[in-house]
Chain A
């Protein structure tokens, strides 16, 4: 690598580290995360021009902030409309004016929290929230987001532009919401992070490592959230859930990319450090609230699996009890089906089958392949081979996934054999 290449690589690393804080600080100053993000980009371009010749400055974060502030002041001088709007906003919100830029130095943690709440604002559609959050909070480039979601880069760029416009048009203030708004606003943030994680998690080991990388991005952003908002129980719950799910990455797929079920995973491959982080975050969530929310409950279930050294050690009664609470907090057929599995492990297949048969009256039976798959499993355990075989074949017909089809057909053959 030439010296210039080395500097460039280093600038990229510095940018990864600094961009979120930079955008957060600038957003507080200009009260507009779209403009803040542009100014941050301008500062990056300037760094890419200058640093290869001057070397990376001693405090790169401060350098970038100063460069972006100077760009902002230039733009305000050139663009009266912009200055007007910002001055109006500033007057209305009683905040700093452009001239007070340099003095403004609040706690960066609050700025980060404002940034997270703004990027996940309910005025935005979900895909817009996801793209904007990954961009300004996660520090990903539009190219990286596009590759991770397997959509064209122009689509992501457009989503982000539109999201910024929507926020500006709705005059969304760069603020931490009022206390009474917090639960709804927080749930929007948690949903976005959870979606990002799942997007990476449901992609099995593909050719593109950027998809699993999304899980790490979600874990990282959840860690940022609990650092800057340590009082929110459900934020700790989500962080716990993601750390615990993330601890199983190495055990989830075989070397050829075939998925491995939880019960069949080599538990020595689970990342003990992440498990410890997950259990700590869960304890924190449980200490903050006597009324655990949906993420804390899911984390509690994941924790039961994490604590079991072998499958035989799994505390199914504990898990079934948590599912009872989860069904009460967030009723859904999928949760109910998982509850049936847990109950059948704790109290025998017939009790589980009763729950599944009640579910089978719904249309889920003919659309969601896991329902007949679970039903087949329970029937097999009750030695009702014929019915089990039919259930497995029905399930195989409902999935497009080749691997799952093969597995289900094999199970159908095995029970009727």
Chain B
């Protein structure tokens, strides 16, 4: 089953501060572990919200708002799609991701509809 997990921007990443070399190395090692488990379908990251556009649809009217935005916990900082056997397993991987990252933040783990007998 495919699951998507994403995490919000941390204050640092939203400010565009690059991660420390140590964190970069830890994260690379962690992503290697994920890849070596054969469960990674895809992963990616997003820049600070100054480069993001919000689209709002209200009462049939659609508006675009340029970033930056203050509500960082609504913003996707990074995401991964994994193929695992259970929600618990996906949550376990997400937990490990947050442990490696070390900072404060929010994340979500959600099953994906893939059409294959979901």
Task: List B residues 7-26 near A (Cβ within 8 Å).
Answer: none
In the assembled complex, the Cα of A108 lies from the Cα of B35 at a distance in Å of: 13
> With an 8 A cutoff between CB atoms, is B46 at the interface?
no
Task: List B residues 45-88 near A (Cβ within 8 Å).
Answer: 81, 83-86, 88
The verdict on A205 contacting B37 (CB below 8 Å), with A10-B88, A14-B92 known, is no
Option from A12, A227, A276 in Cβ contact (under 8 Å) with B36: A227
> With an 8 A cutoff between CB atoms, is B30 at the interface?
no
**Most-contacted residue by chain A among B37, B81, B116 (CB, 10 A):** B116
In the assembled complex, the Cα of A146 lies from the Cα of B35 at a distance in Å of: 28
Residues of B with C-beta under 8 A to A222: 38
In the assembled complex, the Cα of A109 lies from the Cα of B37 at a distance in Å of: 10
Q: How many B residues face the partner with a CB closer than 8 A?
A: 22
Binary interface encoding of chain A residues 1-17 relative to chain B, with 1 for a CB under 8 A from any of its CBs, else 0: 00000000110111011
Binary interface encoding of chain A residues 79-113 relative to chain B, with 1 for a CB under 8 A from any of its CBs, else 0: 00000000000000000000000000000110010
Residues of B with C-beta under 8 A to A212: 116-117
> With an 8 A cutoff between CB atoms, is A273 at the interface?
yes
The verdict on A216 contacting B83 (CB below 8 Å), with A17-B37, A227-B36, A269-B115 known, is yes
Residues of A with C-beta under 8 A to B84: 16
> With an 8 A cutoff between CB atoms, is B27 at the interface?
no
Contact indicator A273/B88 (Cβ below 8 Å) = no
Residues of A with C-beta under 8 A to B117: 205, 209, 212
Contact indicator A228/B88 (Cβ below 8 Å) = no
In the assembled complex, the Cα of A274 lies from the Cα of B36 at a distance in Å of: 17
**Most-contacted residue by chain A among B35, B39, B85, B86 (CB, 10 A):** B85
Residues of A with C-beta under 8 A to B93: 17
Residues of B with C-beta under 8 A to A274: 41
> With an 8 A cutoff between CB atoms, is B110 at the interface?
no
**Most-contacted residue by chain B among A13, A20, A273 (CB, 10 A):** A13
Contact indicator A273/B92 (Cβ below 8 Å) = no
Contact indicator B39/A13 (Cβ below 8 Å) = no
In the assembled complex, the Cα of A212 lies from the Cα of B88 at a distance in Å of: 20
In the assembled complex, the Cα of A250 lies from the Cα of B114 at a distance in Å of: 7
Q: 21 A-B residue contacts at CB 8 Å?
A: A9-B86, A9-B88, A10-B88, A12-B86, A12-B88, A13-B92, A14-B92, A16-B86, A17-B89, A20-B37, A108-B36, A205-B117, A223-B35, A223-B38, A223-B40, A224-B36, A224-B37, A228-B36, A269-B115, A271-B114, A273-B41
* A interface list, Cβ under 8 A from B: 9-10, 12-14, 16-17, 20, 108-109, 112, 205, 209, 212-213, 216, 219-224, 227-228, 249-251, 269, 271, 273-274, 276-277
Known pairs A20-B37, A220-B39, A227-B36; list 11 more (Cβ under 8 Å): A14-B92, A16-B85, A212-B116, A220-B37, A220-B38, A220-B83, A221-B38, A222-B38, A223-B39, A249-B114, A273-B81
